[in-house]
Structure 1
Amino acid sequence: MSAQTRNRILFTVYTLFSVCVFVAALAYPPVRPLAPAPLRDWLGAQTSALVSSFNLPAVFAGRVTIEISSSNTKEDWMNAVAEKFNAEQHAIASGQIIEVKVAHVTSGGSQKAILDGKSTPTVWSPGDQSWVDGANEVWVDRTGRPLVPDLCPPTVLAPIGFSMWRPMAETLGWPDTPISWDDIARLSADPEGWAALGHPEWGTFKFGHTHPDYSNVGLLMMTALAYSIEGKTSGLTADEVYSADVTEAFAAVELNTYHYGVQNRPLMQVLAQRGPQYLHAVTSSEAETLKTNAEFADTMRFPLVFIFPAKGTYWSEQPYCLLDADWVTPEQREAAAIFRDYLLAPDQQSLAVDNYVRPIDQSISLRAPLSLENGADPRVTRDSVPALASPTAEVASAVKDVFHQTKRKATVMLVIDTSGSMEGEKIRNAITSSVNFVKRLHPDDEIYAFGFGFPEFVDLGGGRAGDISEGLIDSLNGMFANGNTPLYDAVCEATSRMNQLKADDEADGERRLYGIVLLSDGADTSSARSENQMFDCLPSGEDAAGIKIFTIAYGDDANKDVLLRIANRTNGKNFAGDPETIESVYNSISAEQ
């Protein structure tokens, strides 16, 4: 008899016994308590001990909870499987019922959170083994032992490649003609753009990808580009990543990259909502492409399709890794192993297809939604598009280095609310985080800043980060809170200044990314302009090369609706922050520019 069946029988017996006791109590109610309170408490404690000694199910013996930090690519599948598993009341040998909780994370972000001690999961399931190898390297340096000593079995396949509008993909030959990273790099480098392929109406190629410092898709796709240029599927070295050919290919792609991001899902949402006039393709997983088609089918001009990089790609095996950490108990290890086996069972593997990911179990046939009609090519397998070897920690570092070297440089303007309501911890933490943001900039980025409060604007100047950062940091550290909140006027002033900087760059033939970071803790109180006039000042958001505004609603009194609309209108992003979280907000904005 299985433990699960035994527990159900015990539960049924106990339930019937409880009902009998309840009925008896109704039939023969006591006139007064049968025992004084101290004695009743003692009897209760003895009963609990007796229940434990009989190893009864978790309704008496308690629960064991396992927390899983899981790459968000497989979010729908993990949610479905965890819900099913929890409903079935699986137990460990002691009788404790297992409760599975899943947090959907980015691979890079979760790695950093674990290493920083901010996340303590039982199981970590990033997109690729390379993130585990990198974490193990750091953990061994710190503790003398790996964080994940055992092999991590793959759970599902979530291949990564390009998500592109169907007419554009068909122009490149999809689905029957192989399309490689080399083809994308050549299209990016061609000043004629799509005109060279018979479609001048589409203009030059416009690309987007997630940031390799944070995103599994971002890191692996840039590594795949290096592999493609080198003509290899394994054994890539750091020296090859730093080579002139690979660096040139990175530069060609980055020259026409207009949108970054921490996570793939928000990037796909921008692609779908803004349409083919904004971006033509982004790096993505097959799962996200299909999910986006389903979610935005009624509003998109064309459907999206998923393109496998022909020379090889990462099939993103989504490893399931049990952590050997002080916070993981023996009971959690046992529970995690039971859930692992459950994930790999045929029923759950078949469920993967319904949730846009491919089963590890190759005996399970692919079906809709993994179909050509929906934008996926089920004919492609690891036999036709080889799996690339995961990057070593050294290669991953080199890929990030070359990305930062070739990435189009940014011009950023910090616009900081210095009104009286920012007094105290708010202004201190906002300034500290702003200073750290400036320190993270590339020397060739440009940074400008001004505060709005009293007097109306405090201009701190700006210029090339490598030249003016120290002086700007001194000026930021000298700011204090005072006055009112001319929020609308500040937005228009920042937009006007950035428009002029952009026009000057374009006159000099320079192509940069432009972003305004707007932090405010309250509603407008003193602008000459109205809210409608402020929105008239904003860039339209239709141009991928336009100015993006990243807004931070700082504290509970911020005008969250207006700040959200400003960000959405300009293809920026809205964040909620407070004095405790503002540093992480600025970190996220760094990855968007």
Structure 2
Amino acid sequence: MNRRTGERGPRRLPLLVATAMGLVAILATFLVTREVSGGSGPDCGVRLEVNSSTEKGDLLAELAKKYNTSGRELTDGKCARVTVSETSSGVAMDALAQGWDEKRDGAPEPQAWTPTSSLWLTLLTEKGTASDRTVLTGDEPVSLATSPLTIAMPRPMAEAVGWPEKKIGWRDILSLTEKGWGSLGHPEWGRFSLGKDNPHTSTSGLAATVAAFYAATGRSSDLTLDQVKDPKSRAFVSGVEAGVLHYGSDATAYMANLAEADAKGQALSYASAVTVQEQLIHLYNQGSPTGDVKLLGKGKKPKVPLVAVHPDDGTLMLDHPFVVLPSAGGEQRAAAADFSAFLLEAAQQRRFQQLGFRDHEGNAGRELAASVSLPDEGKRKLSLIDPPSPQVLGAILDSWDELRKKARVLLVMDVSGSMNQSAGGGQSRMEAAKKAAVAALDLYHPDDEVGLWAFSTETADHREPYREILPPRPIKAGKSQLTTSINGLSAEGGTALYATVRAAQQAALSGLDTDRINAVVVLTDGKNEYPADNDLDALLRDIDATQLERSVRVFTVAFSDQADFDTLSEISAATKATSYDARDPAVIDKVMVSVISNF
């Protein structure tokens, strides 16, 4: 790996935004390997690897560079050099629970970790106990900054609900989900739609799920297992989940789609609300919808800004803890203590505030207060809830698995002749794709409905370039048949990508179930090779998601270095979905996990 001064470490970015001719294309990628180094200072003997949650990775990289060139010394006269990598909190928690593997996890093993919330420390401790492994040192974590979970809403929609005068909470979200915008005099806005992440991977998704359970009981602390299991609580949470557009692993996907809709003058056509930490609303309003701090002041600000709704029936303060891990030696522990102390100094805390965080004591900076229209300049007391006990937090996640909105997915697999080429490891692309697709079936809920198509071009046996293998049916009844059908696929012909995407979306629309997350997943190793349908602009017009109630998202997976990733990204962006990069076949299993996290 090439190490370059002042750059960010190996990074698992679920989403990047590429802007081309006004189009914001959402690209899901893995393993961007850049590492922070310490500038031209001394060759320090103590090296410290810190793994950060994604929303503050850029900032910590910046501050690590400042620390490395500050001339600070440890108590024994040595100095430390800090490097930063970033991984989403839920993914990092799983990696630490299993035992960090640099090759598997795409980043160096850290000696210190700073997720978005201490909720992940709770879950990691529970996993460590279950596997009889020491996963944390037991040292008290240090909060580097704070940011409350909020419900981000386009300003006109928030005002229609009564913001800022009226107190708004999760019960209002439930009511809007059930009654729609027509109940507030805006039938033109259609159904209320909520952007919410998967709580197993995303902090905002986890915190929102916890907050919804608290709101269901009317409590702010001491939530019990019986209350989580209570039918009334479950009905409340299930009602909130019913409004979800689709799930995901990073809230910046929703923000990027909102930015694209805003740029087209359709800011109110995508999501009515998104559950995110407050800091991301600031970045969005300052022209950085994907959270890239380098775009602050340079990106185009939205025509319709978002406002931060702090639920009056309870929200969590995300505390960005900094913890030393058992992998740290004595000198690294000293370096971690010194680096965390450096981050709590006034200058660094002010830098956190400038980027939309509150400081470690919960104080908002003037930039945040102005950007997200905080009442009373951010000094109004929030309705905070206490984090649940480890047992209750585990029960909440288990309950979500049962209560979440179910999906209806059409899996469309490329079976063109190029899929017979090698994917490395002694298997063809077809074999690797089939293996990943079959393994992914275990990630669906038993009540999710999944169907299967295959496509190439016309062959001697098939007049159409695409064909239905199995219609969507519940996994609990159809998994065995899906497995057999996927394993039975064989490759021949060319790649009729455009015709297949159009037909698959139309088929999904014809069977649209508005009580489910409806989606198409296209896995391909190539580019369009079908002269009968070779007009990309026409395809993009045909699949453009302008009417959300009659739209089906098309998630695409590029599965070889020959895949037309740019075009796949445009296709997914047109449907307000995500394109995933598996051009390295070795990551296809990880990619499929991320794809299924949307459902």
Inter-partner Cα distance in structure 1 for 2:531 and 2:450: 25
Q: Which AA in structure 2 matches 1:541?
A: A
Q: How does 1:480-495 map to 2 (within 5 A)?
A: 480-495=490-505
1:171 to 156, 160, 185: 160
1:421 equivalent in structure 2: 418
Rounded to whole Å, the distance in 2 between the matches of 1:543 and 1:437 is: 30
Distance, in Å, in 2 between the alignment partners of 1:492 and 1:374 is: 39
* Distance in 1 of aligned mates of 2:352 and 2:95: 27
State the distance in 2 between where 1:255 and 1:261 align: 15
Match of 1:583 among 589, 592, 596: 589
1:247 deviates by: 1.4
Range moving further from structure 2, 427-436 or 69-78: 69-78
Deviates more, 1:578-587 or 1:233-242: 233-242
Instruction: Give the Å deviation of 1:556.
Output: 1.0
Provide structure 2 residue ranges, at least 5 long, that are not aligned to the other structure. 1-39, 262-266, 289-298, 421-426
CA pair 63-393 structure 1, distance change in 2 beyond 3 A: same
Distance 1:527 1:330 in 2: 65
Distance (whole Å) between structure 2 residues aligned to residue 493 and residue 417 of structure 1: 14
Distance 2:133 2:565 in 1: 47
State the one-letter code of the partner of 1:437.
A
1:295-322 alpha-carbon deviations (Å, 9 max, x no partner): 1684634211111111331111111111
What SS is found at the alignment partner of 2:168? coil
Residue 436 of structure 2 corresponds to residue 447 of structure 1: no
- 8 Å CA contact 1:460, 1:475 repeated in 2: yes
After superposition, residues 218-237 of structure 1 pair within 5 angstroms as 218-237=205-224
Mapped to 2, the partners of 1:293 and 1:518 lie a distance apart of: 33
Counterpart CA distance in 1 for 2:371 and 2:494 is: 57
CA distance in 2, matches of 1:500, 1:351: 51
- 1:530-545 residue pairs with structure 2 within 5 A? 530-532=534-536, 535=539, 538-545=542-549
Q: 2:249 aligned with 1:262, yes or no? A: yes
The answer to whether the 8 A contact 1:149-1:324 is kept is: no
Cα displacement string for residues 340-385 of structure 1 (whole angstroms, at most 9, x for unaligned residues): 11111122112221110011246xx64421224543335555x822
Distance 1:343 1:536 in 2: 47
- Report the Cα distance in structure 1 between the residues aligned to 2:493 and 2:71, rounded to whole angstroms: 59
Counterpart of 1:312 in structure 2 is 314
Among 568, 571, 575, the alignment partner of 1:570 is 575
- Structure 1: give runs of 5+ residues left out of the alignment: 1-57
The percentage of aligned residue pairs carrying the same residue is 28
- For 1:521, the equivalent position in structure 2 comes to 525
Q: Indicate the residue corresponding to 1:496 in structure 2.
A: 506
Q: Which residue of 2 aligns with 1:331?
A: 331
Counterpart code for 2:248: G
Give the Cα separation in 1 of the matches to 2:491 and 2:371: 58
Matched residue, 1:387: 384
Within-5 A mapping of 1:84-483: 84-93=66-75, 95-116=77-98, 117-118=100-101, 119=105, 120-143=109-132, 145-190=134-179, 193-274=180-261, 275-295=267-287, 298=300, 300-325=302-327, 328-361=328-361, 366-372=364-370, 374-377=372-375, 379-380=377-378, 384-423=381-420, 424-453=427-456, 456-457=465-466, 459-462=468-471, 463-483=473-493
Distance 2:282 2:42 in 1: 44
Q: CA RMSD in A?
A: 2.5
Structure 1 residue 238, shift from structure 2 partner: 2.5
Give 1:149 deviation, angstroms: 1.3
Cα gap change, 1:199 to 1:499, in 2 (>3 Å): closer
Distance in 2 separating the partners of 1:59 and 1:343: 19
Aligned equivalents of 1:444, 1:226: Cα separation in 2: 22
- Between Structure 1 and Structure 2, which shows a larger proportion of helix residues? 1
The corresponding residue for 1:81 is 63
Structure 1 pair 499–313 and aligned structure 2 pair: CA distance change class (3 A): closer
Structure 2 residue matching 1:149: 3-state secondary structure: coil
Cα distance change on mapping 1:161 and 1:374 into 2, 3 Å:
closer
State the one-letter code of the partner of 1:74. Answer: K
User: How many Å separate the matches in 1 of 2:274 and 2:42?
Assistant: 51
Alpha-carbon distance in structure 2 between the residues aligned to 1:60 and 1:345: 23
Letter of the 2:564 counterpart: N
Aligned residue pairs, count: 524
Q: CA deviation at 1:206?
A: 1.7
**CA distances 1:80-105 after superposition (whole Å, capped 9, x unpaired):** 32232123243434555422222233
User: Is the partner of 2:276 in helix, strand or coil?
Assistant: strand
Which runs of structure 1 show a deviation greater than 6 angstroms over 4 or more consecutive aligned residues? none
CA distance in 1 between counterparts of 2:182 and 2:115 reads 40
Shift, 1:434, TM fit:
0.4
CA distance in 1, matches of 2:173, 2:112: 37
Once the two structures are overlaid, the 10-residue window that deviates more, 462-471 or 482-491, is 482-491
Distance apart, 1:511 and its partner CA: 2.5
Q: TM-score, normalised by structure 1?
A: 0.83
CA 1:485/1:298 → structure 2, altered by over 3 Å: closer, same or farther? Answer: closer
Find the structure with the greater CA-based Rg.
1
Q: 1:568 to 1:361 in 2, by over 3 A?
A: same
Counterpart code for 1:393: P
Q: Is the 8 A contact 2:286 2:371 kept in 1?
A: no
CA contact (8 A) 2:369 2:377 kept: no
